[in-house]
Amino acid sequence: MLDLLKKRILFFGGKGGVGKTTCASALALAAAKKGKRVLLVSTDPAHSTSDIFERLFSREEAEVYPGIVGVEVDADFEARRYIETVKNQIAKLFSSSVLKEAERQIELVSTMPGVEEVALFDRMGELIVTCVDSYDLIIFDTAPTGHTMRLLRMPELMSSWIEALSKRRKNLITLNRNIEREESGEADPILTTLERRKEKLELVRARLMQHNFTGFVLVLVPERLPIEETVRAAGLLRDSNVNVCGIIVNRVLPENLNGAFYEARRKQEQTYCEEIRRRFAEYPSIWIRQFETDIYGIKNLDRLSEVLAGPNDGAPFG
């Protein structure tokens, strides 16, 4: 756990329902108790962070616990804000004769699949760029694995799109197709906007791939489907040059319970634990036993943070 706290940015990911939010929140609490200033960001549409802390998180930064500032990113709101920002930008670039048609095209684009993901990543990138010097640690509690993988590919996809737009714009400038500003020697505002956006994307991508700075924590439980999904996620992250800095094996059955049902479950779980140890041998691991109660509220979250902060040799229990 101490190695995790050496990072400046941590992403928590995994299959839905494995405890990503509780683990991310508990690590934030552990870091705060060690004197770190933490920004805890929820990008999961379920937004369970408010429930766990029993404090309402909002779209803007607000302290939810001493040393912890929380933000819940609302993808729908960010998409609307993103579209409005684009409209305001084009209003400064186009004449009134073409502005109405340009806005109509933007409205059509706003209904297409993927706009929310672009807007969500834009907000995440903004937090990474603007907040990293204000906090000792930024923790992102992400949506289920597939959605998160698409978000992490966003810098590459958007950079290609921006490069294509910039190339087309330069060709238009070269051909002097109704562009009066360039004839007067002024910088093209569209190209300037695209270049600034590209620079921001490159900075975000560099942060994501800076292994000593950023890490991804995969959370799973000792069951077949979470294991397989986590194996795929680890492979995709590795191929994207994103550092998987650890795995958390959550909800391991407690010892000393009796009964045929428990014995059967325990036997199967031991098989999965051995498989996890074998298939994720290259990653540091933390193993967490199943609590007897749900984890919500600071009292229970504090228990989990102490488990994360305590001795853990990376070997399965039993």
Which residues does the annotation mark as catalytic? 44
What amino acid occupies position 293?
Answer: T
Dihedral sign, Cα of residue 210, residue 306, residue 131, residue 75: positive
Distance CA 270, CA 218 (A): 20
Cβ atoms of 214 and 9 closer than 8 Å: yes
Q: Rounded to whole angstroms, what are the CA distances from 43 to 72, 140, 196?
A: 6, 7, 25
User: Tokens at residue 267, please?
Assistant: 């036997």
